[in-house]
């Protein structure tokens, strides 16, 4: 079967259509426009000297040799930035971070000195000639030890390593239920430090025009508008003289929400030199200094009755934030949305407490499709529920079905205060069980166990919380987390629509066009979507935490409806009828009762410019800043089957079924692509990926030689399915989905592996589940096979 | 540290690019910065990711791990040379039809690796495809649609359509 496809299918393709992506053609031809592809006249290159120490005083910096190297233009230190007030800048969480250090370094790989040279080779040559004399200080790498009185202090400007203490829930009620419970399960989990490892490292090109006083920065940013505001506040350059452009971005996954020293130094250097300055991190530099993810030391407890009814949940976390509290969180949420940790279950009371610590590591924490710590929350509850089932001798699926929030209880107010919009959890789990043949697998497992073979089945039934968010709760540096969409119809019926979000591969150029096409009946190929240029796009908070569909998707729908309202008035004028008598259907307007005599949306668009009705403004366009009334709560059930080799500890994921529910779907192909990508990332999380530091603060996992992300060989085949439970408050009934699988699937993998080993007395194993780790456990339990 | 310049002539996509370069200049930087063909990407610094994969005299190579001088007098095919007469190559078409790309950053390397694979093995099994692109990392797709894309291309290419 061959399908001759030479061009994009034409026509009106609204919600639910599996159309091919509009953005693909340029990528397929090598004509994408990523930051490092951009070349400007007179452009120079920036490279950093980075710290070999995790914690050390800077005694001296000698730049003499580097300065005389041909091609070197400038060398910038922290002392120079201090003079212009840029040695430190504010973080998204109200802390501050070093751009370049003046007195001491606080993590290995930290930027210490910047070199500007004619090309990138010369910049690195010069960097290698700069001599920095350090006096090593005792590093702090364990967040628990960091919080002890005797610990060395990471920050020169603070006298404590305590970042924050945050709690939620009713402690008294929770403690009471724990006392009354028949069963209490308690378990420690370490959710290891990860890096998103987008394929394109971070970078920027700053270009200051001394004549106009305008600073333009091309930047790998998921949130260009917020960056513009922050840059303006920090540099005092008026906001209308700063233009941030996020061109095509080679993956973000949360790691490109942050402001990095390279962006700031390239801007400073361009202002100083009057030339464009390009900074592109190498992979190893990126892994060592940009935002990490996770690093949560969780202690969880769950209380239940003998029959498996869950009563209460109690969780304590020590979180490692590195040297600066820079988590890309909404400002009121130090621990993100970790309080979604009661999950999919009807739990009477809960209490959570998170204590943050500074260590000699780079900052970050919120990244890697985490939806603001929902990954950690879902992992904790889904592991605890699984352990509870095993402790009670109940089937993990049955325990979940018994405790799910039932469909009729939505909107459901959780014990920790979130109002879940909609859900049918049992339907998703049952669908996954049917698809994978759950009960047959349990039978097979029983038989295999008799033969001494190790097979495990892991379930995770998660609830996400995405679409930040309602203005009363959510802001980034004070800016409410609304989202925007501006749609302009041209006289000939073509459309340009601009958004405040910024895709990094999620397909907005296609899916936003589908939303507009759905409502206005204009063909997708007639709609151009633009994002990422702060001079032209309406202000928005950017793309992360699966917020684009819930917020910008809604804004697009509202803007399109505003246009439709005006279009109806114009159509009435053209058809010489009353507005109330106009019927609208898929791009056509007609007078009630005579559908043959119609005006198309294109006719109306032309009339809006050539023949506007009296009293109505010419043109046909609308803009919306959408303040979501609530978050959206997509959910799903994942089931994983693993076989474990008793000789090597090697785990094979034999089968993985993912049933997701993100409400109404804009483009099923794109949704599936996101789920498969996120499942693969979580497969990496569960089995391969970790960034670790030794006691001297040396990084392990700081390059692709050590930080293993899955290749096509390791990656299992994913089997996907859906249920559809629309969000009642969203104009399209759509929920976010991009991060559901990273939130939901790690627990499924670990649950499967522990399920395979439970009968040997294994309750928990921390990720990543490397074969040697499993082999050691098997050896300890006397279960290693010599065959 | 600057080294003596060497004159090289590299044929990229049937067009000759001549320049005086330092011997240490990596092929990927020659392609991107001297030839101006920015479809070839840099994703790592340890030869793991394959985002810089090009075809050098018929072999898929990671152009970050060759010096440009090593390609002197040789022929290079990059992503920009694949589409002919403004028609997508079947592999490119396969990636589009099967949604084998998202951010697009690994795409060119994947396509060049697939190109070599299908030249050597016009009818690969799924396992052979996974093996054939295992030098190429993708962080967006989870590979499944890439495999579908390559299967699609293989079928189309076997059918003699180009």
Q: Is A222 a catalytic residue?
A: yes
A614, exposed or middle or buried, with CB in 10 Å at 0-12, 13-18, 19+?
exposed
- Verify whether residue A578 is a known catalytic residue: no
The Cα-based distances of B7 to A280, A537, B69, B74 in angstroms read: 27, 46, 8, 14
Lowest mean pLDDT among A14-18, A346-350, A563-567, B93-97: A14-18
What is this structure's pTM? Answer: 0.97
Which positions in chain A touch B143 (Cβ < 8 Å)? 676, 680, 711-712, 715
φ, ψ for residue A528, nearest 5 deg: -105, 130
**Alpha-carbon distance values, B104 to A19, A98, A249, A667, B40 (Å):** 17, 33, 9, 18, 11
Which residue from B78, B88, B104 is facing A505, i.e. has the nearest CB? B104
C-alpha distance from residue A287 to each of A110, A201, A746, B45 (Å): 11, 9, 22, 11
Say whether B102 and A506 touch across the interface (CB within 8 A). yes
Integer-rounded Cα radius of gyration of chain B: 16
**What residue spans of A347-475 are helical by DSSP H?**
374-392, 396-403, 425-436, 438-450
Contact B103 A125 (CB under 8 A): no
Which residue's entry shows tokens 């007078």? A591
* Cα(A350)–Cα(A352) distance, integer angstroms: 7
**Are residues B103 and A198, on separate chains, in Cβ contact within 8 Å?**
yes
User: Distance of CA A661 to CAs A87, A370, A683, A738, A747, Å?
Assistant: 46, 18, 20, 12, 18
B28 touching A (Cβ < 8 Å): no
Tell me the shortest Cα–Cα distance from A744 to chain B, in angstroms: 16
Domains, in order of start, for chain A: 35-137+201-249+256-289 (3.90.1170.50), 373-465+631-780 (3.30.365.10), 482-626 (3.30.365.10)
Residue of A nearest to B160 (CA): A2
- CB contacts < 8 A, A to B, total 199
Q: Which residues of chain A have a CB within 8 Å of the CB of B79? A: 28-30
pLDDT > 90? residue A571: yes
pLDDT digits (tens, 9 = 90+) for A94-125: 999 999 999 999 999 999 999 999 999 999 99
The three-state DSSP-derived secondary structure of A516-540 is HHHHHCCCHHHEEEEECECCCCCCC
Residue A4 has pLDDT above 60, yes or no: no
Which pair of tokens denotes residue A474? 């959510």
Per-residue pLDDT for A69 more than 90?
yes
Measured between CA atoms, the residue of chain B closest to residue A283 is: B44
User: How many whole angstroms separate alpha carbon A557 and alpha carbon B46?
Assistant: 45
The answer to whether B137 touches A709, Cβ cutoff 8 Å, is: yes
Which residue of the set A110, A192, A222, A674 is catalytic? Answer: A222
Tally of residues, chain A: 787
User: Residue B139 and residue A5: Cβ atoms within 8 Å?
Assistant: no
- B38, closest residue in chain A (CA to CA): A37
Q: What's the gap in Å between the CA of B93 and the closest CA on chain A?
A: 8
C-alpha dihedral (A667, A669, A671, A672), degrees to nearest 10: 160
Complex ipTM, two decimals? 0.97
Please report the pLDDT score of residue A746 as a whole number: 98
A50, A288, A370, A537: the active-site residue = A370
Q: For residues A570 and A24, what is the distance between their CA atoms, to the nearest angstrom?
A: 36
In angstroms, what separates the C-alpha of A399 from chain B's closest C-alpha? 31
pLDDT digits (tens, 9 = 90+) for A576-627: 999 999 999 999 999 999 999 999 999 999 999 999 999 999 999 999 999 9
Q: Does B99 touch chain A (CB under 8 A)?
A: yes
In chain B, DSSP finds a helix count (H) and a strand count (E) of: 5, 5
What residues of chain A lie within 8 A of the CB of B96, using their CB?
5, 20-21, 24-25, 28
Q: Which residues contact A306 (CB under 8 A, 6 or more apart)?
A: A182, A183, A392
Catalytic: A514? no
Chain A touched by B53 (CB under 8 Å):
no
Name A270's Cβ contacts closer than 8 Å, sequence gap at least 6. Answer: A206, A207, A208, A215, A276, A277
> Which residues in chain A have their CB less than 8 angstroms from residue B136's CB?
711-712
Q: Please give the Cα distance from A389 to A382 (Å, whole number).
A: 11
Chain B residues close to A25, C-beta within 8 Å: 96
Helix (H, G, I), strand (E, B) or coil at B118: helix
Quickly state the pLDDT bin for B160 (edges 50, 70, 90). Answer: low
* Contact across the interface for B139 and A681, Cβ inside 8 Å: yes
Q: Does B88 touch chain A (CB under 8 A)?
A: yes
Nearest to B48 among A121, A705, A718 (CB): A705
Task: Indicate whether A338 pLDDT > 90.
Answer: yes
Q: Is the predicted pLDDT of residue A647 greater than 70, yes or no?
A: yes
**B111 at A interface, C-beta within 8 A:** yes
User: How many CB atoms are located within 10 Å of the residue A218 CB?
Assistant: 28
Is A602 designated active site?
A: no
CB distance B97–A3 less than 8 Å?
yes
The domains of chain B, with CATH numbers, are 6-81 (3.10.20.30), 90-157 (1.10.150.120)
* pLDDT exceeds 50 at position A5: no
Distance CA A757, CA A770 (A): 15
A121, A673, A713 member nearest B102 (Cβ): A673
pLDDT at residue A13 in the model = 80
Query: Does A3 score more than 90 pLDDT?
Result: no
Mean pLDDT of B97-107: 98
A476 DSSP β-pair partners: A479
Residue of B24, B39, B45 with shortest CB distance to A282 = B45
Confidence of residue B125 (pLDDT cuts 50, 70, 90): very high
- For residues A408-419, average pLDDT: 98
Would you call B62 an interface residue with chain A, using a CB distance cutoff of 8 Å? no
Between CA A372 and CA A336 the distance in angstroms is 5
- Axis crossing angle, helix A554-575 with helix A508-520, rounded to the nearest 10: 30
pLDDT single digits (tens) A128-163:
999 999 999 999 999 999 999 999 999 999 999 999
| Catalytic member of A21, A369, A373, A547 | A369
């Amino acid at each position: 079967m061959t399908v001759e496809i030479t061009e994009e299918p034409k026509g009106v393709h609204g919600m639910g259509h599996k159309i091919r992506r509009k953005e693909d053609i340029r990528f397929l031809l090598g004509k994408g426009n990523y930051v490092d592809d951009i070349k400007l006249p007179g452009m120079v290159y920036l490279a950093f000297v980075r710290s070999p120490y995790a914690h050390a005083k800077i005694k001296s910096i000698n730049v003499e040799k580097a300065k005389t190297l041909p091609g070197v233009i400038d060398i910038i230190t922290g002392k120079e930035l201090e003079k212009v007030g840029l040695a430190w800048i504010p973080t998204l969480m109200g802390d501050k971070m070093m751009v370049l250090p003046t007195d001491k370094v606080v993590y290995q790989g930290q930027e210490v000195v910047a070199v500007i040279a004619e090309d990138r080779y010369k910049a690195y040559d010069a960097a290698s000639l700069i001599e920095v004399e350090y006096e090593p200080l005792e590093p702090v790498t364990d967040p628990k030890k960091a919080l002890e009185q005797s610990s060395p202090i990471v920050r020169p400007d603070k006298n404590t390593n305590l970042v924050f203490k945050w709690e939620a829930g009713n402690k008294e009620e929770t403690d009471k239920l724990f006392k009354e419970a028949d069963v209490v399960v308690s378990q420690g989990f370490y959710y290891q430090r990860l890096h998103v490892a987008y394929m394109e490292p971070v970078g920027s090109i700053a270009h200051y025009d001394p004549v106009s006083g305008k600073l333009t920065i091309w930047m790998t940013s998921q949130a260009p508008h917020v960056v513009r505001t922050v840059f303006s506040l920090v540099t005092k350059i008026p906001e209308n003289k700063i233009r941030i452009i996020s061109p095509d971005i080679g993956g973000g996954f949360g790691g490109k929400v942050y402001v990095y020293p390279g962006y700031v130094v390239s801007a400073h250097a361009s202002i100083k030199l009057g030339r464009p300055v390009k900074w592109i991190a190498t992979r190893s530099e990126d892994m060592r200094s940009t935002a990490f993810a996770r690093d949560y030391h969780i202690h969880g407890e769950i209380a239940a009755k003998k029959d498996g009814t869950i009563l209460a949940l109690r969780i304590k976390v020590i979180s490692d934030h590195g040297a600066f509290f820079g988590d890309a969180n909404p400002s009121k949420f130090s621990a993100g949305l970790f309080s979604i940790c009661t999950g999919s279950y009807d739990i009477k009371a809960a209490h959570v407490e998170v204590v943050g610590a500074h260590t000699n590591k780079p900052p970050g924490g919120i990244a890697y499709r985490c939806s603001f710590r929902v990954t950690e929350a879902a992992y904790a509850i889904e592991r605890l529920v699984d352990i509870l089932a095993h402790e009670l001798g109940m089937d993990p699926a049955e325990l979940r079905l018994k405790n799910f929030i039932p469909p009729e209880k939505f909107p459901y107010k959780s014990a920790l205060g979130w109002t879940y919009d909609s859900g049918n959890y049992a339907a998703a789990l049952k669908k996954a069980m049917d698809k994978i043949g759950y009960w047959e697998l349990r039978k097979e497992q029983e038989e295999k166990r008799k033969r001494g073979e190790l097979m495990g089945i892991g379930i995770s039934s998660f609830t996400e919380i995405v679409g930040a968010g309602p203005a009363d709760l959510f802001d980034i540096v004070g800016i409410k987390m609304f989202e925007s969409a501006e749609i302009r119809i041209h006289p000939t019926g073509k459309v340009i629509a601009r958004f405040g979000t910024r895709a990094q591969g999620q397909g907005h150029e296609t899916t936003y066009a589908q939303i507009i096409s759905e409502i206005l009946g204009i063909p997708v190929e007639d709609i151009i979507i633009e994002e990422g240029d702060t001079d032209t796009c309406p202000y928005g908070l950017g793309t992360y935490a699966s917020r684009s569909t819930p917020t910008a998707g809604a804004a697009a729908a509202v803007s399109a409806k505003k246009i439709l309202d005006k279009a109806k008035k114009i159509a009435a004028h053209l058809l010489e009828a009353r507005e109330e008598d106009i019927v609208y259907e898929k791009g056509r307007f007609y007078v009630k009762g005579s559908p043959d005599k119609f005006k198309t949306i294109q006719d109306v668009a032309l009339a809006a410019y050539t023949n506007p009705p009296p009293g109505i403004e010419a043109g046909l366009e609308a803009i919306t800043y959408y303040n979501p009334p609530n978050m959206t709560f997509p959910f799903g059930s994942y089931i994983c089957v693993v076989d474990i080799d008793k000789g090597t500890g090697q785990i094979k994921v034999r089968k993985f079924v993912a049933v997701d529910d993100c409400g109404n779907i804009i483009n099923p192909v794109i949704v599936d692509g996101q789920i498969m990508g996120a499942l693969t990332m979580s497969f990496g999380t569960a089995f391969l990926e970790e960034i670790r530091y030794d006691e001297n603060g040396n990084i392990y996992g700081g390059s692709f030689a050590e930080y293993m992300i899955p290749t096509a060989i390791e990656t299992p085949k994913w089997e996907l399915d859906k249920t559809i439970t629309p969000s009642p408050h969203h104009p399209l009934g759509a929920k976010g989905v991009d991060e559901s699988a990273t939130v939901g699937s790690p627990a499924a993998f670990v649950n499967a592996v522990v399920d395979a080993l439970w009968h040997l007395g294994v309750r928990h194993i921390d990720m990543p589940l490397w074969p040697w780790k499993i082999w050691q456990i098997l050896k300890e339990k006397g279960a290693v096979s010599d065959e | 540290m600057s080294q003596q310049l060497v004159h090289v002539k590299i044929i990229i996509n049937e067009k000759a690019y001549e320049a005086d370069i330092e011997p240490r200049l990596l092929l990927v930087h020659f392609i991107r910065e001297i030839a101006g063909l920015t479809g070839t990407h840099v994703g790592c610094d340890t030869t793991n990711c394959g985002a810089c994969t090009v075809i050098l005299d018929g072999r898929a190579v990671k152009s970050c791990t060759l010096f440009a001088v090593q390609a002197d007098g040789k022929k290079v095919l990059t992503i920009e040379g694949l589409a002919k007469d403004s028609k997508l190559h079947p592999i490119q078409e396969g990636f589009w039809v099967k949604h084998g790309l998202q951010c697009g950053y690994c795409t060119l390397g994947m396509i060049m690796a697939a190109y070599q694979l299908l030249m050597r093995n016009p009818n690969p099994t799924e396992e052979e495809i996974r093996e054939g692109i295992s030098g190429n990392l993708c962080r967006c797709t989870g590979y499944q649609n890439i495999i579908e894309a390559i299967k699609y291309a293989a079928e189309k290419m076997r059918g003699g359509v180009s």
